[in-house]
Amino acid sequence: MPNDNVVIKFNKVSFDFGIKKPVLDEVDFSIRRGSKFALMGQNGAGKTTLFNLISQKYIPEIGSIVIEQGLSIAYSRQVIPRDQMEYTIREFFEKLFPKKIYDIDPRIKEALKIVNLSIPSDRIVKTLSGGQQARLLLASALIQKPDILLLDEPTNNLDTEGLSHLTKFLVDYKKTCIVISHDAEFLNAFTDGVLYLDIFTHKIEKYMGNYLNVVQEISARIERERRQNVRLENEIMHRKEQASFFDQKGGHMRDVAKKMKEAISKLEEEKVNMREEDKTIRKFAIPCGENIEGKILTIHSVSLISKDKAIVKKINITLKQKTHLLVSGPNGIGKTTFLNDIASEKSKHSEIAKGVRIGYYRQDFGELDPEKTIYESLVEIAGNTTEETVRSVAAGFLLNAEDLKHQVKNISEGQKGLVVFARLVLQRPDLLILDEPTNHINFRHIPIIAEALDKYAGAMILVSHIPDFVKKIRIDETLDLLALLNKK
């Protein structure tokens, strides 16, 4: 239970990435020792930036951030930096500390045990699955034994067992914790309240209580604001009509019209700026080429991982148009390797028909060049599509003209996901390969994405650990890799 000691306090904090990209505007809030908060906000609102401010990677331009003296902070990020992928597990942990840690091996063992990850210390980071990397990121924070734990999308790529293990750990966790996640049930299990970052006002609103109740409270507040604006709009329109009528009468009636215009100005000030979080991506469709008849993909076998050994299992799966395949299995069994193998078009385990265009949503966004702008990233895949169409598709995914100028490396992981979906719309793939496509995505967008995938008319392979998402999508066949591995 939290106590009365304040361990984090923001005093009138403002921060931005240039005039056109404000993040925080005179933000005030405090966090008490032992409390656990969810941090909410639209993709690109600045949630990760807030964590960088708390961890002192960024310094506020105005105001101050006070952290109780002597407290340590550890930040579990969304993804492992590319320049750390070649490290061994031991090197990855050693780099976390400014000085040499002489008991690093037992500390690594303890941290990995907490996150239920069994891997040798000489294993190379890039050889881990997405789920194993997610557990490694969490372990990298826990090994520091911090007083304040910051978790950025810790459930991404976790299988059911991993999610259950993490949830239990956080329920039992006695120290201060702030978590960014779009998994409502996960957050509801352990949080004491919500920090709500409004992308429009750049303020933080603090709510106490059960996570699901807080979400309902926020939704109810948005609806009240919407109704208030509708009422004020109607009244403003009515008074404008009256002011126009009196203006035309001339004489002293113009004084009446003037007073009415002053009243209208006051009513305009009463209107509430509607929250940008209320926006969702537009409904969309991913077109397919529709020029491939018969077999699009034939899979003869699959290489699975068991106790760090590759085991090849024979299968017989054929995908044609309108055939959706779900691939399931625990972290580390080889799902991403299986997808990468198919997407490479050089697989020994499968055959792709000639002329098939592959659209691949990689969980690490490896298909995106970090140095290119969003606009360049879309244009490179769009073929002969007009600029007007490219910009229209981008707008449907909440990527406006200003966003299109930003380099991919400078946008949030959630925005990267939306960029990939925009690319898929422009690409018109015959074969769609999706590796955890809901990672980092705002929960408001997920039903719209599920509907688009459900209606996709090409061949599709999907990997997802989110049952509610999968239920919304037509699945014609399931490849259970664990059952296949255990099959004699």
Can you spell out the DSSP letters for 305-324? EETTEEEEEEEEEEE-TT-E
pLDDT at residue 1, as a whole number? 55
Query: Are 64 and 13 within 8 A, CB to CB?
Result: yes
What is the pLDDT confidence band of residue 276, given thresholds at 50, 70 and 90? very low
Q: DSSP 3-state assignment of 99?
A: coil
Q: Tens of pLDDT along 75-99? A: 988 888 888 999 999 999 999 988 8
- With both helix axes pointing from N to C terminus, report the angle between 413-427 and 387-396 in degrees, rounded to the nearest 10: 130
| Residue 419, φ and ψ in degrees, nearest 5 | -60, -45
pLDDT for residue 155:
84
| Residue 25: closest CA among 34, 16, 17 | 16
Residue 346 burial by Cβ neighbours in a 10 Å radius (0-12, 13-18, 19+): exposed
pLDDT at position 20 is 61
Is residue 195 within 8 Å of 178, Cβ to Cβ?
A: yes
> Percentage helix, strand, coil, to 5, in the chain?
40, 20, 40
Rounded to the nearest integer, the mean pLDDT of the chain is: 88
Q: Where are the beta strands (DSSP E) in 249-408?
A: 297-306, 309-319, 324-328, 350-352, 358-361
Q: What is the mean pLDDT of residues 389-395?
A: 95
Can you state the angle between helices 104-114 and 130-142, rounded to 10 degrees?
Answer: 120
- pTM above 0.75? no
Q: Which of 60-64, 103-107, 152-156, 327-331 has the lowest average pLDDT?
A: 152-156
**Structure-derived torsion over alpha carbons of residues 82, 84, 89, 94, reported in degrees to the nearest 10:** -150
Weakest mean pLDDT among 195-199, 262-266, 273-277: 273-277
Q: Is the dihedral of CA 354, 355, 360, 365 positive or negative?
A: positive
Give the pLDDT band (50/70/90) at residue 42.
confident
Q: Per-residue pLDDT tens for 191-203?
A: 999 999 888 888 8
Reading the block at residue 361, the tokens are 């949503």
DSSP label of 125:
G
Phi-psi region of 277 (alpha: psi -120 to 50; beta: other; left: phi over 0): alpha
Please report the pLDDT score of residue 201 as a whole number.
Answer: 84
Q: Cβ contacts of residue 271 below 8 Å, gap of 6+?
A: 228, 229, 232, 233
Question: Tokens standing for 122?
Answer: 């000489």
